[in-house]
Structure 1
Amino acid sequence: MLQEKIEKYYRTHPQLRVLFFFDKEADFKEEVAALALKDIRVVQFQQNYFYMKAMLHGEWKQQKVFLYLNQESPKKQDEYLNFPLLDLLLANKELLLDDEAAFMEEYRLQRHHQPLIKRYMRELKYSSVQEVCAPILKPESLDEANLVQALFSAFLKFKAPENWSLLLAKLFSLLRPGQEEELKRVGRKVRENNLLEWLNKQIKQHFDQEINELEPDKLANLLKVFKYNSLAQFIPDAAAEDPYKSLKIKKAAVLSRLNQLQEEAARKDGLGAQFQEAVEVNAGSVQELKLLEIYGATADFAFYTLPMKWQLIAEQAANLDYNPQAVIQWLEKISTSEPTTASLNSCLTFMLHAAEMMKLVNSISSYILDKPEDYVKVYTSEWYKIDQAYRRALCAYRSMDDTEIPTHIKLEELVGLVNKRYEEFLEKSNREWLKCLNAYQFDYKGLNIPKQYEFYKREIEPFEQKLVVIISDALRYEVAEELLSELHGDPKNSADIRYQLASIPSKTSIGMAQLLPGKKFAFNQGAITIDGLSTSGLENREKLLTEAEPEARVVPFSDIQQNNQEQNREIFKAKLVYIYHDAIDMIGDKKVSERKTLTAAKEAVEELKLLVKKLHGSLNVARVIITADHGFIFNDREIDEKDKENATGLKAVTTHNRYEIVDDLGQPTLGYKIQLSATSLFTDSLSVVIPASVNRYKKQGVGHQFVHGGGSLQELVVPVIESSRKRQDITQKVKPVLVKSAPLKIVSNVMRVSILQENKVSRTEKERELVAGIYKNSELVSNEANLLLNSTSSMPTERIYKLEFNLLHSAAQETYLKLKIFDKEDNLNTLIEEPVSNNTLIEQDF
């Protein structure tokens, strides 16, 4: 045994020259005499210090020497200092036969550490424990508090010593189902090593309580304390009817530790979710909805749990029709805080857009305006937002996993309400709009509104600059406004939007023809011609264009997508290119797919945004115009037969669900009869009949949710977006706003804040890059966060960004600091400067 230990020492320490072995009782004298060590000289000390020192420094200097001393190892300081071979002992090692001594020797601990090592040697003998404790097993830093903390870290299977907040969070996570044996194992370790007192010290600091044994029910009670105080800590006095008031913590330092526990758990991969699961499983008797009932929604809760958020959503749903602005304010408050889920986010998005739609509808004081120009002006400034909010609300609803929505939130009823209010808006606004147009006999020539049939003469003919025109089938005005916002997101892009009035009937073949040049336009029983040439098909349209501009090309969007760079560059050498894009009408105008109209509109925006960027960026096109042949009406419900009108009974050339083109002198009993030539360049003596508002004609084999062809604002007011790379003066950059409901605080060396981009990126307000940090006077004492404000969304909740700051150790004890936010291009003048209180003024672990 002795020989094996000696050989192991020399293997472990290849540079070792002299190995001292003190044996006061001479227990190993005979075994030493029998040693047969290869390449190691065995020497028995005979109290001949001078001789021994001379030989070890002289003749034996290059040899490995095992030095046996029949005396006690020096332990006291004076013995240690008076030992004649001290220099050699310090430069080499002492053979220790017991585990504690060997452990101390391995980590070079001092003699006063021996009682501590002995106390916990039952754990320290394990290599896995040693690996965790290694960072604190140093003579200059080792004490019992650090060692106990490291042991708990090992018991809880961390890889290194962790702070007590994390250790407690991990301990509580063992209250999850399936972790019972792990909790028993840790409890056994605590009992065997008499560590409950140490654990209780930390529990007292974090919960202001103690436990008498490490058992599940005791820990579960602490989680109840945690849950209650994490929610209600900012409510100064517990209400008399509060059934949980005995759990309230009033000491600020304890609350700070409790918050630190939550923060530390959230920041550790996976632990945050495990800890929250343990809270949900074991602290359910603290009912957050009861707290909401007692203190009310306006109480200063630290945050809202998911059940609380769902309850608040349910309560706000009742106000959707009556006070949508208040609903928006509440939902924005809910949406800016954690926790959240995909279903909750979708529900909030649906509710926010629905409330925005209701607010806009409720703000309409009258649908009766003086002249058609007034209707178009109010539609393109305000009413289109109703169409947009409706579409976005329904998009969010259709993307929602309603299996995760609590049953007390009656989503179908809310959707029904949204449809009802939207349909009322469509019906009332368009009834009055058409009445007004009728008063002008639908004669576009007398209207001071840009007409679709003037497009070529107005937008193309006067200019010599190379131009690309994108005609997107059924790109109605509100979808184009969304596209415009996306184009503004490109800082190199300058874009604005205009409008023009499409012809009636608002159908593809007619709208496409009105966008082409020519002199003589003939409907020709539906086989439309311009100057005798058919307008059907891209080849014919290119012929018509080249009559006016020889350097003209016509291509489908699909070709641009599939072509390589060289092929596209060849196309766009032309002075004028018409690109035909069909994403919305292709889906919406089919009965089998009309329900996908909402998704198609979103895809159209994305495709067009990328196309414009490509045209400007890599195909050297400076000027791009995007327009449409017509818009559309969409209702997210099946249209009942009772809501459809019967056909007029007049002699019809062609019919559809929103119009009839007739060759008949008779008058319809309902709706309006309009000369085809009144709204178009056609000279045929035909008339168009349309319903009085947004009704559909009964027609088999076609869809009735997505429709066009009639005279509604949504069908007739089509966009004209002009996009260019020309430089334009930017009046300002978007402004950041700090979102806060309470003074800013640092907890556990961490501070999270929310920044609202005040307005969406637009033609006059461009993106802004921010740099932010926590400062002590002019010194940065945290990480520096970068943030790009470039949202194009009109919804404030979609323009909120979250930042996280970690306080540097050097500023951990500073009481008052400041959050400073700068424009990246100006680091002298702050955009936001806000006081920050440091709630981490508690003793730091390690």
Structure 2
Amino acid sequence: MNELQKKIYDYFDRDTELRVLFIFQDSVDMFTTAELESVEWKSGYRYIDFKGDWFTTKYRLDNDWQNDKIVIYCHQESPLRKKSLQTSFPLMDVLAANMEYHSQDYAAFMQQYGLPTNDLQLVRFVERNVISLQSDKMLRYFMSYYQDGSITHDIMVRGFISNFMGAHNILDWDSIILKVLLYGRKCESGKQRDFYVRMRGCKEAQEALGKHLTDIFGVSYNDDSKEKVAQIVKVFKYNVIVQNLAPIAEDNYKQTRIADSVALQHMNRILELALSKEKTTEALTELFDELGSEVRDADIIRWYGTDANYYYLPEALCVPIIKTLLEEKIETEPTEVINRIEELMLKHSDNSMMTAVMDYAVIVARLYEKALTLGSLTLNTADEYVMRYESDYCFIDQYYRQANETYFGIDPTCELFDAVQKVKRGLDQNYSKLCNRINLEWTRCLKETGGMDEVHMLRQYNFYDEKIKSVQKKVAVIVSDALRYEVAQELIGELAKSKHIASLKPAIAMLPSETKYCKPSLLPHRELKLYGKGEEQDMAVDDHILDTTQKRSEHLQVYRDGAVCVPFETVAEYNQEKNREIFKHPLVYIFHDVIDKTGHDGNAKQIVNSCRDAITELKKMIPKIHASYNVTEVYITSDHGFLFNDIMFTDKDKHKIEEDCLERSTRYYLTKSKDEVSGVVKFPLNEVSGMVNVGDVMVAVPMGTNRFAAPSGGYMFTHGGAALQELIIPVITSRQERDDNKQPVGVMILDRRLSMQASRLRFKMLQTEAVSMDMKERPIRVALYHNDVPVTPVKDILLDKTDPSLDNRKIQVDLTLNKNIDAKVLQLKVFDATDELNPIIKENVTNNTLIENDFDF
């Protein structure tokens, strides 16, 4: 027996399942092969010198020689080492299922790298693949494992599969399986073909992948099919959707149910891995659409309903659920809608247009939720109305504006756009009616209790005397045209995230709540006078019409030496040298005009976007004035607010003015008539404006939010009247703080008993305080731990909510296991991101994942 023959016998002795050993000419020399033809072989062994008669050879392998151990010599290079030969090698399938002889001694290789010889699986793997293991890439893959002695059969198998996938490092099984599934998409057909060709050259890799797939999904890939993972995808899609639900008789797919909790846990980890990145999320959606379409979403919804607790929600399932919420519940059960949508947002991770629809639904539901808690709209005093506007009514306006802003970001091609439009039409009408009812009661109260004198707050025309006059430090005043109180309320939330301290208080604007009257009144003055020009009226300040920035500057300097007025655009150029010169002045009035400039001629989208622009510009400017130009105090106020309704106002909706008048607009007219007019409230102009020469002039405003028929038009966005939205203006006082002494907001867990279901923990946290001038935002890190090691991804959450409502500061958190854990109790830990040693919260969590589902099939 020669040395080569002895090595051949060793192959068969070590692997009792080996039937065919291939020898290629690049593994041995010609003299050695000549010896093989002349030697005697043990009983049951057969040597074949393969000359190309593949049909006969293959037939005999399957029939005449099926009980023999076959040694085949092939006069060519190995197709396992030269990929281009694989498609033309007729016995490739036989080779893939068996082994190739290597002249390199596997034992020498194992000795060279110190591999353990007692691991028979590892030994067989090295023996079969010793040539590939000597390649530079494989050595780079495994060298660190060789050196630290941690190499295993599993690592080698994953290394080979990772190499077949073109990965730069060894992937874990979750990543491998996800890649295998995503290869099933049409756009990856080339990669899929190359991958499976390579896999056929490594029997162990095929077996290991097949076992993992079968353990998880109950089926493996089908190498004989073009759509190799189609059946797996169907099982995967169905089970990630319905795993929380007990199967029902009508369910035609229930035979593919996975009941094993470990398999479901693994499946969920693969799902979460796919959903962790936008690119793989889109790929998963595409995969389910292409290969999982036989699992019809419409059938699942029909069987289990829109209220079912689905584990994962692809878009096709989201659509009918959201449609039901929009059409049937948003007006009457808004809290349920909010909770359901928040759940959908967690389960539906696709960053698609559906997200905008869900955002819209939540904002609209919050408006209806707030409206349902308002109680009686009939209050006793004017001050009560102002207080209620601050605490409640202004949020109705804010939600309506934000809802419109979100609506205009929804793609009209969205499948749910018709349902969204119906909600919007209903919202427009309901908001209009509610605003009118509130303001009918407000104007009635003013009329019955003594007019504006019964409102006990800062009057706009006293702004300078009461707020600015006594301040001896450098001061900046920003007058933002039409900065409605609710917009300023959102702005103060943004400012709360800065280091400086700001506060928001309401003031009452003059009537008419019109720019030409209100804006000049914010400047210092001795007297204000009505200045008539035919049917156009104006207001003189100390006998001057201050209708330009230059005139306002000259007027301001009379009261404060060196004071100056500038347009916002000049400061917003952020020219450091120019701005330093501007803010050397002791008092700077900055006139900002984004909302009003857009509002009068803009459509609804432009109007709400202008409010967002105002917030963005001001939240950037105010800290800059403090930090860069050393201005200690900044005041932000407005000349007036506005009414906004995205509805058409027909002629029948416009109140006709029958009296003689000095001036008229959509929300007021000036008249000397004191006669009562149905649907109209009149106030003496000298009592509501501060003008001194108008003892015989009345300002007439429509009750509620009605509009007058006027040549000036502008019915969607309008002001001038006495509605709360027009009259209540903000006064923000921002003061520079050198040190950040704010305390971070707190956090607590709302759920009492925490338990994991199907490898997922879902719970709610509460940000216990709103971010404000006293409390700052807080970054936290949340995860599940076992023996102080995280067993879920660590989630970073920023607690930055400024909403005063507790309900709007709830945060739903979703954690999914990414490791196999057999512990019955895990720990939920919440850390401040600045201190990861000492958890703020530590709670035990029951691991119900270990309990098998008891569904009956």
Check whether TM > 0.5: yes
Alignment of 1:813-832 (within 5 A): 816-823=825-832, 830-832=839-841
- Please give the secondary structure, in 2, of the residue aligned with 1:723: strand
2:475 aligns with 467
1:619 aligns with 2:626: no
1:717 aligns with 2:728: yes
Give the Cα–Cα distance (whole angstroms) in 2 for the partners of residues 840 and 137 of structure 1: 36
1:258 aligns with 2:267: yes
Amino acid at match of 1:253: V
2:714 aligns with 703
Give the Cα–Cα distance (whole angstroms) in 2 for the partners of residues 240 and 686 of structure 1: 79
Give the Cα–Cα distance (whole angstroms) in 2 for the partners of residues 131 and 826 of structure 1: 38
1:328 aligns with 2:338: yes
Q: Say if 1:410 and 1:322 are closer, same or farther in 2 by CA, change over 3 A.
A: same
* Equivalent residue in structure 2 for 1:101, among 104, 107, 125: 104
Contact 1:100 1:114 in 2 (8 A): no
* Equivalent residue in structure 1 for 2:318, among 300, 309, 314: 309
Give the Cα–Cα distance (whole angstroms) in 2 for the partners of residues 249 and 757 of structure 1: 38
Percent identity, aligned pairs only, is 27
Deviation at residue 391 of structure 1 after TM alignment: 0.3
* Equivalent residue in structure 1 for 2:247, among 238, 253, 274: 238
1:10 aligns with none
Amino acid at match of 2:655: E
2:521 aligns with 514
1:373 aligns with 383
1:481 aligns with 489
1:598 aligns with 2:608: yes
Give the Cα–Cα distance (whole angstroms) in 1 for the partners of residues 673 and 284 of structure 2: 77
Alignment of 1:192-231 (within 5 A): 194=203, 196-210=206-220, 214-216=224-226, 219-231=229-241
Q: Say if 1:656 and 1:728 are closer, same or farther in 2 by CA, change over 3 A.
A: farther
Deviation at residue 717 of structure 1 after TM alignment: 0.9
Deviation at residue 678 of structure 1 after TM alignment: 2.0
- Please give the secondary structure, in 1, of the residue aligned with 2:413: helix
1:689 aligns with 2:700: yes
2:684 aligns with 675
Structure with max Cα Rg: 1
Q: Say if 1:176 and 1:135 are closer, same or farther in 2 by CA, change over 3 A.
A: farther
Amino acid at match of 2:463: F
1:168 aligns with 177
Deviation track 1:760-790 (CA, whole Å, cap 9, x = no partner) reads 3123432234355655567888997765423
Q: Say if 1:383 and 1:729 are closer, same or farther in 2 by CA, change over 3 A.
A: farther
Report which stretch shifted further, 385-394 or 735-744.
735-744
Q: Say if 1:449 and 1:106 are closer, same or farther in 2 by CA, change over 3 A.
A: same
Alignment of 1:422-461 (within 5 A): 422-440=431-449, 442=451, 444-461=452-469
- Please give the secondary structure, in 2, of the residue aligned with 1:722: strand
* Equivalent residue in structure 2 for 1:565, among 569, 576, 582: 576
RMSD: 4.1
Q: Say if 1:114 and 1:296 are closer, same or farther in 2 by CA, change over 3 A.
A: closer
Give the Cα–Cα distance (whole angstroms) in 2 for the partners of residues 301 and 26 of structure 1: 66
Give the Cα–Cα distance (whole angstroms) in 2 for the partners of residues 769 and 162 of structure 1: 31
Amino acid at match of 2:410: M
Give the Cα–Cα distance (whole angstroms) in 2 for the partners of residues 180 and 755 of structure 1: 44
Deviation at residue 693 of structure 1 after TM alignment: 2.4
Contact 1:332 1:797 in 2 (8 A): no
2:588 aligns with 577
Give the Cα–Cα distance (whole angstroms) in 1 for the partners of residues 173 and 839 of structure 2: 38
Give the Cα–Cα distance (whole angstroms) in 1 for the partners of residues 557 and 185 of structure 2: 75
Amino acid at match of 1:172: L
2:405 aligns with 395
Contact 1:175 1:216 in 2 (8 A): no
**TM-score (normalizing by structure 2):** 0.77
Report which stretch shifted further, 156-165 or 726-735.
726-735
Give the Cα–Cα distance (whole angstroms) in 1 for the partners of residues 847 and 163 of structure 2: 31
Deviation at residue 307 of structure 1 after TM alignment: 2.4
Deviation at residue 537 of structure 1 after TM alignment: 2.1
2:551 aligns with 540
Deviation at residue 610 of structure 1 after TM alignment: 1.5
Give the Cα–Cα distance (whole angstroms) in 1 for the partners of residues 238 and 419 of structure 2: 29
1:634 aligns with 644
1:524 aligns with 531
Give the Cα–Cα distance (whole angstroms) in 2 for the partners of residues 262 and 665 of structure 1: 73
* Equivalent residue in structure 2 for 1:505, among 512, 523, 530: 512
Give the Cα–Cα distance (whole angstroms) in 2 for the partners of residues 100 and 271 of structure 1: 43
* Equivalent residue in structure 2 for 1:763, among 755, 770, 773: 773
Contact 1:633 1:705 in 2 (8 A): yes
Give the Cα–Cα distance (whole angstroms) in 1 for the partners of residues 190 and 752 of structure 2: 43
- Please give the secondary structure, in 2, of the residue aligned with 1:657: coil
Q: Say if 1:451 and 1:119 are closer, same or farther in 2 by CA, change over 3 A.
A: same
Contact 2:342 2:812 in 1 (8 A): no
Give the Cα–Cα distance (whole angstroms) in 2 for the partners of residues 245 and 741 of structure 1: 34
Deviation at residue 26 of structure 1 after TM alignment: 9.7
Amino acid at match of 2:501: S
Deviation track 1:71-101 (CA, whole Å, cap 9, x = no partner) reads xxxxxxxxxxxxxxxxxxxxxxxxxxx8542
**TM-score (normalizing by structure 1):** 0.78
Q: Say if 1:642 and 1:527 are closer, same or farther in 2 by CA, change over 3 A.
A: closer
Aligned residues: 746
Unaligned segments of structure 2, at least 5 residues = 1-27, 35-100, 851-857
Amino acid at match of 2:576: Q
Contact 1:263 1:747 in 2 (8 A): no
- Please give the secondary structure, in 2, of the residue aligned with 1:396: helix
Contact 1:594 1:703 in 2 (8 A): no
Give the Cα–Cα distance (whole angstroms) in 1 for the partners of residues 681 and 32 of structure 2: 123
Report which stretch shifted further, 811-820 or 577-586.
811-820
Deviation at residue 497 of structure 1 after TM alignment: 1.4
- Please give the secondary structure, in 2, of the residue aligned with 1:719: strand
Deviation at residue 690 of structure 1 after TM alignment: 2.0
Contact 1:136 1:147 in 2 (8 A): no
1:735 aligns with 746
Give the Cα–Cα distance (whole angstroms) in 2 for the partners of residues 723 and 155 of structure 1: 62
Give the Cα–Cα distance (whole angstroms) in 1 for the partners of residues 706 and 739 of structure 2: 44
Give the Cα–Cα distance (whole angstroms) in 2 for the partners of residues 399 and 428 of structure 1: 30
Q: Say if 1:699 and 1:837 are closer, same or farther in 2 by CA, change over 3 A.
A: same
Contact 2:509 2:518 in 1 (8 A): yes
Q: Say if 1:722 and 1:418 are closer, same or farther in 2 by CA, change over 3 A.
A: same
Give the Cα–Cα distance (whole angstroms) in 1 for the partners of residues 440 and 849 of structure 2: 64
Q: Say if 1:798 and 1:399 are closer, same or farther in 2 by CA, change over 3 A.
A: farther
Q: Say if 1:376 and 1:785 are closer, same or farther in 2 by CA, change over 3 A.
A: closer
Contact 1:772 1:785 in 2 (8 A): yes
- Please give the secondary structure, in 2, of the residue aligned with 1:761: coil
Q: Say if 1:668 and 1:145 are closer, same or farther in 2 by CA, change over 3 A.
A: closer
Deviation at residue 131 of structure 1 after TM alignment: 6.9
Q: Say if 1:188 and 1:518 are closer, same or farther in 2 by CA, change over 3 A.
A: closer
Contact 1:648 1:668 in 2 (8 A): no
Deviation at residue 310 of structure 1 after TM alignment: 2.4
Amino acid at match of 1:487: L
* Equivalent residue in structure 1 for 2:655, among 645, 649, 673: 645
Alignment of 1:742-761 (within 5 A): 743=754, 757-761=767-771
- Please give the secondary structure, in 2, of the residue aligned with 1:403: coil
Amino acid at match of 1:820: K
Give the Cα–Cα distance (whole angstroms) in 2 for the partners of residues 792 and 719 of structure 1: 17
Deviation at residue 687 of structure 1 after TM alignment: 2.3
Deviation track 1:3-27 (CA, whole Å, cap 9, x = no partner) reads xxxxxxxxxxxxxxxxxxx999899
Contact 1:343 1:405 in 2 (8 A): no
Amino acid at match of 1:628: S
